[in-house]
Amino acid sequence: MADIVLSPRLRPSPFVDGVETAGPRAYTVYNHMRLPLIYESLEADCAHLKTRVQVWDVAAERQVQLAGPDALRLLQWTTPRDLSKVRPGVCAYIPVCDETGGLLNDPVALCLAPDRWWLSLADSDILLWAKGLALGAGLDVAVDEPDVSPLAVQGPMAEDLVARLFGDGVRDIRPFHFRRLPFAGAAHVVARTGWSKQSGFEIFVEGSEHGPGLWDALMDRGQDLGVRPGAPNAIERVEAGLLSYGNDITREHTPYQAGMARFCHPDRVDCLGRETLLHEANHGPPRQIRCLTVAGDALAPPQRVWPVTAGDAPAGRVASAVWSPEFGTNIAVGMIERAHWQPGARLSVETPDGPRDAVVREKFFR
Amino acid sequence: MADIVLSPRLRPSPFVDGVETAGPRAYTVYNHMRLPLIYESLEADCAHLKTRVQVWDVAAERQVQLAGPDALRLLQWTTPRDLSKVRPGVCAYIPVCDETGGLLNDPVALCLAPDRWWLSLADSDILLWAKGLALGAGLDVAVDEPDVSPLAVQGPMAEDLVARLFGDGVRDIRPFHFRRLPFAGAAHVVARTGWSKQSGFEIFVEGSEHGPGLWDALMDRGQDLGVRPGAPNAIERVEAGLLSYGNDITREHTPYQAGMARFCHPDRVDCLGRETLLHEANHGPPRQIRCLTVAGDALAPPQRVWPVTAGDAPAGRVASAVWSPEFGTNIAVGMIERAHWQPGARLSVETPDGPRDAVVREKFFR
């Protein structure tokens, strides 16, 4: 491993003091921010996440706000998901596409009002994309990055902890819905979302000055629940088949290839990349995300993309792979060519230590 | 220090094998790529850079290509620098601005042909900005990221080394000019540019497959010159006053605040943010980059922005500061308010270890 040089360009979050006191072992960088990834170890962090409750500094999921009469028009232009029935209080997972149908991001869009949306982003400057489209087309919409930073509370004890701060009403929030709730003299969006398949919430902290108090209150009020700082966990999310933009899916891939067909309606929405998307809707994509199991002892996660082959033929790529202690196997997220994606297909993954046998599964583990 | 988690999302460069063999101690992330920053130590790397020659993997300076009849129109829309007289073979350092005059990037624009330009980028997704503007306005221009990766050769021996590979003609390349020259069956743009004030070149490697051979050839042919892998060096560049986008200058700052007045012609160019830029051209900016010396023993470079004060009054910010062994003082890049920016002004910088006395200098050290 090598060090990371932390400079102001890798922006600290409002929760930086709590994070640095806890002392993460490893970071990545995401949307020009530092994103803590490992506290004790991937395995220990994962085991804790599955049994207790963790507080994650995911401020790096930057928000882009679209506000004004043309907000929905702008958003609908760049996603094939039909947003016409999305109401305030709903979080809509949306593919964001360019004119080729290639994925630029896969944010959660929060509908605050019919003319005001937040995009809670994966790792790319959708601020510049949305501003560019709006300026170019002369749309009547303000695009900016508000001072809003998500803090995730994830794990089986998450609901109890969040209820202690925001009230028992949070228990009634349905998945991919949110309410704006008061805490300590401010109000924040509390959404039942998060990048794990454990139960949990994301609190969208409005105003950086409220970050440290909320962090401390969660740590304080959650002591008996075993709360500790945590992070999006590579093991848990690969077991669950949650995709990482920039790793598993990129600008080279369409939403259909990413397995997002249920979030695509190119038949009734006139969005960028519509022609490509209609074609893939009608004929199926040429490759698609698949869960693979990979033979042998525990793999270290890929630092570069690993090619996948079927005999001598190229069969796809793997960008995420982990050893799962719970399931006792290596699990990989593959982008697999159509000829080789049927469950049971036997493939080979080129790891740095040589080829490994792999098998396509019907679905992910969770 | 904490580790960095290297994943495929932090894209490896074509030179990754050479870099990893050398084993950098620390990385940052830049344009979704890993950027090696420290090999031995900041001080040792700096001393070597000033006496010998280094090869830098700066593939993270991603290229965005604008090609087509409206390429220049698109580029001129988003920069106040008058490009009408920039000819093929010239590298033009340009501020890229949004509609508020805020800096989105400060790339070097390489004019390959009147209708084909590369932007060699600082850290932001100008690909999305340029594509958004072009799609929104319906411009006839193709915007993409070509397979071109800069490799910098910097230091007093750089010219000798580059001449050994590309011929003595490189000695005639003037600063901020380039030629396309053959090597090992391919041709690459060789420019007299680079993020140091030592002499040097950047080789824009066309085709990732040519990266490893060029890296190896430079290492091999430069042995007697003392060549080694290196990186943009925080000490050398602060001594020289080279600005880091995202650190010293951000979207909150204009080109005039960044000290780029000589690259701004809002009087004769109809660009985004023109009104703000004209105002600052006529009335002067409210704050501007200044060199500061900071008292006391060696400072560790800032991990967060340090506030600057004059008595009780806010006077600016510092995002870059280093101990300079050559000049025997701490040097900082300050964004200083107009009331306090005159040479000799005595200020205070809030470091994590407490306030330090600082003085505004007339200019940087190199």
**How far is B27 from B31, CA to CA, in rounded Å?**
13
Does ipTM top 0.90?
A: yes
The residues facing A180 across adjacent strands are: A189
DSSP B177-243: BEEEEEETTEEEEEES--SSSSSEEEEEEESGGGHHHHHHHHHHHTGGGT-EEE---HHHHHHHT--
**How far, in Å, CA of B140 to CA of B134, rounded?**
8
| Residues of chain B under the 70 pLDDT cut | none
The secondary structure of residue A11, as a DSSP letter, is B
Record: contact B136-A131, CB cut-off 8 A:
no
Largest Cα separation within chain A, whole Å, is 63
Kindly determine whether residue B8 and residue A246, on different chains, have CB atoms separated by under 8 Å. Answer: yes
Which residue pairs from B281-287 have beta carbons closer than 8 angstroms and sit at least 24 positions apart in sequence? B281/B256, B284/B256, B284/B338, B285/B254, B285/B256, B285/B257, B285/B338, B286/B257, B286/B337, B286/B338, B287/B253, B287/B257, B287/B316, B287/B335, B287/B336, B287/B337, B287/B338, B287/B341
Residue B279 CB neighbours (<10 A) = 15
One-letter amino acid at A214 equals L
Specify the pLDDT at position B1: 81
Q: Supply A292's token pair.
A: 């693979």
The nearest alpha carbon in chain B to A96 belongs to B128
CA distance A240 to A254: 21
Shortest alpha-carbon distance between residue A45 and chain B (Å): 15
A62-69 mean pLDDT: 98
B246: distance to nearest CA of chain A, Å?
A: 5
Q: Would you call B37 and A5 a contact, using CB atoms and an 8 Å cutoff?
A: yes
Rounded distance between C-alpha atoms, residue A283 and residue A200, angstroms? 37
Cβ contact, residue pair B133, A136, below 8 Å: yes
Give the span between the Cα atoms of B295 and B330, in whole angstroms: 7
The conformation of residue B313, written as its DSSP 8-state character, comes to E
Which chain B residues are within 8 Å of A304, Cβ to Cβ? 8, 12, 16
**Could you give the 3-state DSSP secondary structure of residue A97?**
strand
- pLDDT value at residue A1: 81
DSSP A253-273: S-TTTTT-GGG--TTT---TT
Mean pLDDT of A188-211: 97
DSSP B5-70: ---TTSBPPTTHHHHHHH--SEEEEETTEEEEEESS-HHHHHHHHHHS-EEEE-TTS-EEEEESTT
pLDDT of residue A262: 98
Q: Indicate the helix (H) or strand (E) that contains A237.
A: helix A234-240
Name every chain B residue with its beta carbon within 8 A of the beta carbon of A244: 7, 9
Q: Which residue of B has its CA nearest to A139?
A: B136
CA end-to-end span of chain A, whole Å?
30
pLDDT tens-digit series, residues A293-312: 999 999 999 999 999 999 99
**Residue B8 phi, psi (nearest 5):** -60, -25
The whole-angstrom separation of Cα A180 and Cα A301 is 38
How does pLDDT run across B128-150, given as a tens digit for each residue? 999 999 999 999 999 999 999 99
**In chain A, which residues have their Cβ closer than 8 Å to the Cβ of B99?**
131, 135
Calculate helix-pair angle for A211-221, A158-166, nearest 10 degrees. 120
Note the pLDDT of residue A210: 98
Contact (CB<8Å) B3/A4: yes
In degrees and rounded to multiples of 5, residue B244 shows phi and psi of -110, 115
User: Which residues on A lie below 8 Å from B273 (Cβ)?
Assistant: none
CB contact under 8 A, B123 and A9: yes
Average pLDDT rounded to a whole number, residues A179-194: 98
**Collapsed DSSP state (helix, strand, coil) of residue B124:** coil
Q: Which is nearest to B290 in space by CA: B344, B233, B356, B250?
A: B344
Q: Which residues contact A186 (CB under 8 A, 6 or more apart)?
A: A206, A207, A210
A125 vs B290: CA distance, rounded Å: 29
Question: Judging by beta carbons within 10 Å of its beta carbon (0-12, 13-18, 19+), is residue A211 exposed, middle or buried?
Answer: buried
Average pLDDT, chain A: 98
CB within 8 Å of A57: residues ≥ 6 apart? A13, A15, A16, A18, A19, A35, A36, A151, A229, A231
User: What is the mean pLDDT of the segment spanning A94-107?
Assistant: 98
**Per-residue pLDDT tens over the stretch B177-234:** 999 999 999 999 999 999 999 999 999 999 999 999 999 999 999 999 999 999 999 9
- What does the pLDDT look like over B99-111, one tens digit per residue? 999 999 999 999 9
Instruction: Report pLDDT digits (tens) over A245-291.
Output: 999 999 999 999 999 999 999 999 999 999 999 999 999 999 999 99
Predicted local confidence at residue B298, as pLDDT: 98
The pLDDT of A122-140, averaged and rounded, is 98
Subunit contact A29:B25, Cβ cutoff 8 A:
no
Contacting residues of A for B135, CB less than 8 Å apart: 98-99, 132-133, 136, 272
- The nearest alpha carbon in chain B to A142 belongs to B99
Contact yes or no for B32 and A3 at CB 8 A:
no
For residues B239 and A350, what is the distance between their CA atoms, to the nearest angstrom?
Answer: 46
Distance of CA A293 to the CA centre of its chain: 22
CB–CB contact A38 B99 (8 Å): no
- Cβ distance B16 to A304 less than 8 Å, yes or no, reads yes
- CA angle (A108 as vertex; A222, A249 as ends), nearest 5: 110
A359: burial class by Cβ within 10 Å (0-12, 13-18, 19+)?
Answer: middle
Neighbouring C-beta atoms of residue B304, cutoff 10 Å: 14
Closest CA of chain A from B200, distance in Å? 25
Adjacent-strand bridge partners of A179: A190
Which residues touch A242 (CB under 8 Å, ≥6 apart)? A195, A196, A197
d(CA A79, CA B338): 45
Which residues in chain B have their CB less than 8 angstroms from residue A19's CB? Answer: none
First to last CA, chain B: 30
> Which residue type, as a one-letter code, is found at position A164?
R
Q: Is residue A25 within 8 Å of B2, Cβ to Cβ?
A: yes
Closest alpha carbon within chain B to A321? B7
Please give the C-alpha separations between residue B315 and each of A50, A80, B279, in angstroms, as whole numbers: 48, 48, 22
> In 10 A of CB A335, how many CB atoms?
25
Task: Tell me the C-alpha distance between A50 and B8, whole Å.
Answer: 26
Taking an 8 Å cut-off on Cβ atoms, the answer to whether B104 and A128 are in contact is yes
Largest CA distance in chain B: 63
